[in-house]
Structure 1
Amino acid sequence: MTEEIGTGSSLQNKYFNREMSWLQFNARVLQEAEDTATPLIERLRFIGIFSNNLDEFFKVRYATIKRIAEAGKGGRSFLGGISASELMEEITQTVIKHQKTSLSILNTIERELEKEHIYIIKETEVSDNHKAFIANYFITKVSPALVTIMIGELEKFPSLKDSAAYLAVKMVMSKEDKAFEAKNTYALIEIPKNVERFVELPADGNKQYIIILDDLIRYCLNNIFSIFKYDSISAHMIKITRDAELDIESDLSKSFIDKISKSVKNRSAGDPVRFVYDKRIDKETLDFLMFKMGIDSTDSIIPGGRYHNRRDYMGFPSLGREDLQYKKITPLPIPGLSLQGSLLDKIAQKDYLLYAPYQTFSYVVKFLREAALDPAVKAIKITIYRLAEISHIASSLINAAKNGKEVTVQIELQARFDEQANIYYAEQMQGEGVKLIFGVAGLKVHSKVCLIEREENSRIVRYAFISTGNFNESTARIYTDYTLFTSNQKIGKELNKVFDFFEVNYKIKKYRHLIVSPHYTRNSLYSLIETEILNNIKGKPSGIKLKLNSLSDYKMIDRLYAASRAGVKIKLIVRGICCLIPGVKGMSENIEIISVIDKFLEHPRLFIFENGGNQKLYISSADFMGRNLDNRVEITCPIYDENIKQEINDTFEICWSDNVKARIVNQNQDNKYRKNNKVKVRSQFALYEYYKNKLEA
């Protein structure tokens, strides 16, 4: 029944390119740094988020495109109608433009900080009042952590660390110097990561001073190189980004933990994919470095500003200035669900929904703490993707194992950039008797579920929570996510089937309630979309509402296009990548898309289908990306409780009504803010008020 788009259509006319769409998402992050309504110190932190995002983009996505180009493949069908080499050039030019904008914004923010009597000084601006402090700070804190390499005379250039920042030092040697034959000699100073990047200097009255570590080191160059005689010395920042793909060896004698651990360590030697340098560096030094480092035309070469690793701005100090930061909110309790009594007793009576960070993540920890102590609880099973650095989740599971519970943890050791933390906790849990499962060959386990089995009246009763986000106390303060607490035995039994699949994965289970990737999600979603098309044709209520992080799967997009052509109204809230082009006559005129970037990171996956008036509503760990649909274990859970259905509908509509922080995704990809004459709705702030009002009611 579904009408497919003709194969004669140009891919570039049907879909936005995934990488360019991602860069537009990161431009929205940069808009938050530019927005004068964003508190001043938070604007600096958005500069950091923008930069951190870009680092990860080059490590993963640009590295993949480079591999395609180096393999001699065009990649047009995979990349949406553009060749790999063309796309690499387009990415580089776009990033150069965005970096230029980010530097301009940073300069503006620094001028605004000065109006607030906060001064970020350079090494040439150090006052007499600060000289003694800086000298002592350098000797006691910085100098012991410095790695300085004299590269001018080395035959082999040292391997630079991925995403570490270096000062490339050039010394024009004095005629009196006998140590070096060449007129110029070069050194590299690695900016230490174990020293604060922003050094707070003693205040002068109401004036506060910061010096960036790079400039503090520049100020102390004569101290570092005091044994040499030179006429002049200069230092400019450089950074390389390496391919972050893990190459896992096949040695059968090694444990999976050992293989992943070694692969993570080897990541530091991955091929370079981006070289960023201070555009004020002299050509002679730049040519020397690029020749020695083997930087070539397939790498993205970005002329940048004075400072790199601007991701460190995420940790810019608060300076005691609460007026220049977001007002902190106190996460709210769930109405009717006290943290003082037994959660399991309450959940046995009805389902509850947690929406973090508006409501407190403490319920997740409390659920596990209670299960760890309850003599009636016999088993705990959980999937883990990303843990907090200090994880109460992990300690609760270890506590449960010490109390004799059968604890099974499916932990994903290949969670990108969190492998080391997960390895650490995996080894801890394994040492305490927790049973670990390391996934399914060829599939990442991205689902976020926990199941406990409790003996009640000589039978096993199951309790569970299913989430759209990670069980991570740190991210739960800044990521918005739904978590359903339920004692629905049908859902509990099907969750148990998923854990059985982890252990015996040649047997494909069947489900009536859960939708599980990689076997069922794609076709189940196709069927749900098809139903909306048929209902619309029959004159029944129809409509699709989706909230996603990313939408990039071409086949899924084609189904949504077909629904649009059939007259089905579709509302999409997509935070990040969106390859669907909305509002095109004859293809997608019934599809509207917004993206909300604000104080919190929008993270839930939510699917709402009108279904002829008998609405079907799901929360999920899966985005509409090929990897989530076909190459990961994902769980999409139906919502059956009518009150929770209404609550989720309410929260979707509040987000959809945003006319302060919502950007319209349109054919021009110009990130225009949605503006209208309606009452101002800043959805994240409105959602907090919504939940406060529910408590009062």
Structure 2
Amino acid sequence: MTDPVPPHDSPSLYINRELSWIRFNHHVLEEAQDERHPLLERVKFLSIFANNLDEFFMIRVSGLQRQAAKGVLRAPPDGMTPSEQILAIEKALIPELDLSFECWSSEILPRLAAAGIFIHEYNELDDEQKRVLRTFFVEEVFPVLTPLAFDSAHPFPFISNLSLNLAITIRDPRGKELFARIKVPTGLFPRLIRIPDTHSSGRRDDKQVHLVYLEDLVAAHLDLLFPGLEVIGASPFRITRDADLDIEVDEASDLLTTVEEIMEQRARGTPVRIEVDCSMQESTCHMLEKKLGTSSHMLYRIGHPVGMADLMELLSLDRPDLKDPPFQPSVPPELAEEKDIFSAIKRKDILLFHPYDSFAPVINFIRQAAHDPGVLAIKITLYRVGSNSPIVKALMEARENGKAVAALIELKARFDEENNIGWARALERSGVHVVYGVVGLKVHAKLCMVVRREKDGIRRYMHLGTGNYNATTSRIYTDFGMFTCDREIGDDVANLFNFLTGYARFDQYRKLSVAPVTLRSAILSRIDREIESHKKHGGGHLIFKMNALVDEECVTALYRASQAGVKVDLQVRGICCLRPGIPGASENITVSAIVGRFLEHARIYYFRNNGEDEVLLGSADLMPRNLDRRVEVLFPVMDPSIKKALLSVVLDAELRDNQQLRLMKGDGTYERKHPAPGEESVDSQSWFLDHMGIWYHVGP
């Protein structure tokens, strides 16, 4: 007798989103452990693993701790209360942290040394190296250090978010133990200090690099900071604070000023994690917990170094032999810089697949618009544009040339607020009409529209994408961008911009699916259509590629599709709350994830539709925030050749990947896919690199 099928709202059918995220981050750690990657690329993945954890604590864990403190018992679909999730997170993370330290200390550090990159303990250095470093410390570092005592006359000092510190125990001449704290000035100096070459020959071996941690350098010279006192111990530690601070837009008369104030508050948020070096004494740990008002489960003992995100500094070393080989993205011939991009778009829709296709045509699209006499206006949404943005500079050029330019800059893009504020002010100074966002919503859609006067009247040219208008991330994120001048899409984009910049409201769009208005219903109705089509004709098939699957209503709809016999292939890079392969519920669903050299960031939604294939691309994942609390856009792929390329080339390669792909099991864990005996080896990202410029026409 088979077990009864659980109802769709049963917690047994859902994976906790926080634990699912930890499994995603484990995939990143696996890449650091993978010897197939060049050595410095492994360091990069280890740094990304640590940086991801920082953000996880600042946003997700902090939110759970606030809920637990308020006694919130409301649970997500998996049924875990906030307190239960906090304990489960701690249990899941401890082995992850042990693995990351083991990877660094036992695998990567020895290989770095073998490659001529030495990271020394200070006491390992010879006398000449110590002399040179002491001179550097006295002349450069010592003047900026401020030791802060804390006792009855000195309050416990404020410790800013993610700052690196030394907790110091000292003994005065009377034998009394005292405590002090020194902030390690990582913002002023590199975390890894290069030791000058001390060979008498004066000849430098460029392949030999000797480094020491800044905190070790400071700790080795505490005699200069505490003369006449005995230094008993010094241990690095770091505090992570709650950075998920809400912006009450409804009450803010000036959103830009409000965001600036929120950024200042972020550095002073409630502590949510203490990371201490494994050498720290228990008494010092307890003292930190007491002074910071944290509980013992918030303290994590870390192998040296504390704060591995800073290891990304090693990527600046000039060692191409230890990095991924560089590549030159292709540029479609019709989009070459000297060609008229508007004529090319007028002939047909054009799809770019970054980073294999260059981002240069997107920049050129706006640059040509800035200088084209026929162009009247440019409108664009900007979420994360990066520093030194060529997109923003092109918009300024357009304004200087008399074009009407409107830019919606989402000031609430988390951790990019400061950068976006700077660009907002620069654009305003150049005369661009800047809109900071929409009350109650975060604008995450990726849209650019150019309005051009032509012989036969006004024509709109659009670029719609899955990723940000960011030239830097376009080389490390996989994303799609489509150029089109379709009239109905143009009408939709124009209406959407009128909503974003004014008071217009639209309940329907002709071709675009727009959150929070129509996108949820667009996905759900198409899933229902696939179910009905399969019942009548068979062959039902859904393929969804996204970054996260969390929304309960969408998960339930996919369970219904599976139960109806529809084949469902989900490729979810990060969080996935759906359990595949559950008898009677999801045995027709597969869930996979690709983590590799590039961050898989594109969203594709495919519906077989009884042979009338429908493909949607866009900015939205299937999460409540994307569907209900953001402005997101999915756009249809109408050109048959583009649609065919997406299905028979892109999705085919990524679903058949057996090098970087992991398959999820029903318990939420993953297993790496490997080629079966006699099966062709497929690494989808490497395949696309090998077929840049022709991927559109061929398949693996």
The two structures have a TM-score, normalised by structure 2, of 0.94
Query: 1:15-54 alignment to 2 at 5 Å?
Result: 15-54=14-53
Residue of structure 2 in register with 1:193 after alignment: 187
Counterparts of 1:595 and 1:142, CA distance in 2: 45
Cα drift, residue 614 of structure 1 = 0.8
Residues 1:360 and 1:278: Cα distance change in structure 2 (over 3 Å): same
Rounded Cα–Cα distance in structure 2 between residues aligned with 1:696 and 1:641: 14
Corresponding residue for residue 224 of structure 2: 223
Alpha-carbon distance, 1:154 to partner: 4.7
Q: Distance in 2 between matches of 1:79 and 1:395?
A: 46
CA distance in 2, matches of 1:251, 1:416: 19
Amino acid at match of 1:10: S
Shift of 1:144: 3.9
State the 1:47 CA deviation. Answer: 0.9
Which of the numbers 93, 107, 119 marks the counterpart of 1:95?
Answer: 93
Measured after TM superposition, the shift of residue 279 of structure 1 is 2.4
The one-letter code sitting in structure 1 at the alignment partner of 2:219 is R
**Residues 385 and 445 in structure 1, CA contact (< 8 A), matched pair in contact too:** yes
- Cα separation, partners in 2 of 1:631 and 1:347, compared to 1, 3 Å: same
Cα distance 1:250–1:593, how it changes in 2: closer, same or farther (>3 A)? Answer: closer
Q: 1-side partners of 2:569 and 2:479: how far apart? A: 19
The range that moved more, 321-330 or 253-262, is: 253-262
How far, CA to CA, are the matches of 2:24 and 2:112 in structure 1? 27
Query: Aligned with 2:537: secondary structure?
Result: coil
Closer/same/farther in 2, CA of residues 92 and 557 from structure 1, 3 Å limit: same
Distance 1:478 1:296 in 2: 39
In the other structure, the counterpart of 2:54 is 55
Given candidates 597, 600, 611, the residue that maps to 1:599 is 597
Q: Which digits, 9 at most, give the CA deviation of each residue in 1:7-39, with x for residues without a partner?
A: 58631x111100000000000000011111111
Deviation per residue, 1:659-695 (Å, 9 max, x gap): 1111111123333210132211111010122324459
Length-normalised TM-score, structure 1: 0.94
Deviations 1:470-495 (A, max 9, x none): 00111111111000011112111110
Structure 1: stretches of 5+ with no match in the other structure: none
User: Aligned in 2, Cα 1:672/1:461: closer, same or farther, shift over 3 Å?
Assistant: same
Alignment of 1:182-581 (within 5 A): 182-202=176-196, 205=205, 207-225=208-226, 228-248=227-247, 254-296=253-295, 300-457=298-455, 459-505=457-503, 507-581=505-579
The structure-2 alpha-carbon separation of the partners of 1:460 and 1:692, relative to structure 1 and needing over 3 Å to count, comes to closer
Instruction: Provide closer, same or farther for how the CA distance between residues 599 and 406 of structure 1 changes in structure 2, counting only shifts above 3 A.
Output: same
Name the stretch that deviates more: 426-435 or 443-452.
Answer: 426-435
Q: Which position in structure 2 is the counterpart of 1:116?
A: 115
In 2, distance between residues paired with 1:674 and 1:394?
A: 42
**1:457-476, CA deviations, whole angstroms, 9 ceiling, x for partnerless residues?**
26210001001000011111
- What letter matches 1:121 in structure 2? H
**SS of residue paired to 1:382:** strand
Counterpart for residue 202 of structure 2: none
Taking every aligned residue pair, what percent have the same amino acid on both sides? 34
Q: Distance in 1 between matches of 2:333 and 2:235?
A: 56
* 1:84-107 Cα shifts (integer Å, max 9, x gaps): 111101101211221111000001
Amino acid paired to 1:531: R
Letter in 2 for 1:166: N
Secondary structure at 1:570 match in 2: strand
- Determine if contact 1:18/1:578 at 8 Å carries over to the other structure: yes
Q: Which AA in structure 2 matches 1:602?
A: E
Correspondence for 1:157? 156
Query: Counterpart of 1:691 in structure 2: which amino acid?
Result: M
Secondary structure of the 1:348 match is: helix
Q: 1:159 to 1:25 in 2, by over 3 A?
A: same
Q: Is residue 334–residue 341 contact of structure 2 (8 Å, CA) maintained in 1?
A: no
- One-letter code aligned to 2:217: L
Q: Check the 8 A contact 1:236/1:306 in 2, yes or no.
A: no
Output one character per residue of 1:294-313: Cα deviation in whole Å (capped at 9) or x when no partner.
2236x622121222221111
Measure the CA separation in 1 of the matches of 2:184 and 2:373. 54
* 1:505 Cα deviation from its structure 2 partner: 4.1
Q: Does 1:653 align with 2:652?
A: yes
Q: How does 1:143-154 map to 2 (within 5 A)?
A: 143-152=142-151, 154=153
Query: The residue matched to 1:415 in structure 2 has which SS?
Result: coil
CA distance in 1 between partners of 2:559 and 2:697 (Å): 43
SS of equivalent residue, structure 2 residue 672:
coil
Q: Could you tell which deviates more after superposition, 236-245 or 335-344?
A: 335-344
Cα displacement (A) at 1:223? 2.8
- Give SS of 1:223's match: helix
| In structure 2, distance between residues paired with 1:452 and 1:220 | 60
Q: Equivalences for 1:598-677 in 2 at 5 Å?
A: 598-649=596-647, 650-677=649-676
- Which secondary structure state, in structure 2, belongs to the residue aligned with residue 86 of structure 1? helix
Distance in 2 (CA, whole Å) between partners of 1:694 and 1:38 is: 24
* Aligned equivalents of 2:594, 2:82: Cα separation in 1: 30
CA distance in 1 between partners of 2:245 and 2:63 (Å): 12
Post-superposition offset of 1:573? 1.0
In 1: Cα distance, 2:572 partner to 2:45 partner: 19
Moved more, 159-168 or 604-613: 159-168
Within 2, Cα distance between the matches of 1:645 and 1:601?
23
SS of 1:436's equivalent in the other structure is strand
- 2-structure distance, mates of 1:589, 1:145: 62
For residue 579 of structure 1, what is the amino acid of its counterpart? C
- 2: CA distance between counterparts of 1:75 and 1:106? 39
How big is the alpha-carbon RMSD for the aligned residues of Structure 1 and Structure 2? 2.0
Q: CA deviation at 1:173?
A: 2.5
For 2:21 and 2:326, the matched residues in 1 are separated by 29
Does the CA-based 8 Å contact 1:146-1:192 persist in structure 2? no
> Cα gap change, 1:8/1:374 in structure 2, threshold over 3 Å: closer, same or farther?
closer
- Code of the aligned partner of 1:347: I
Distance 2:560 2:319 in 1: 52
How far did 1:140 drift? 4.1
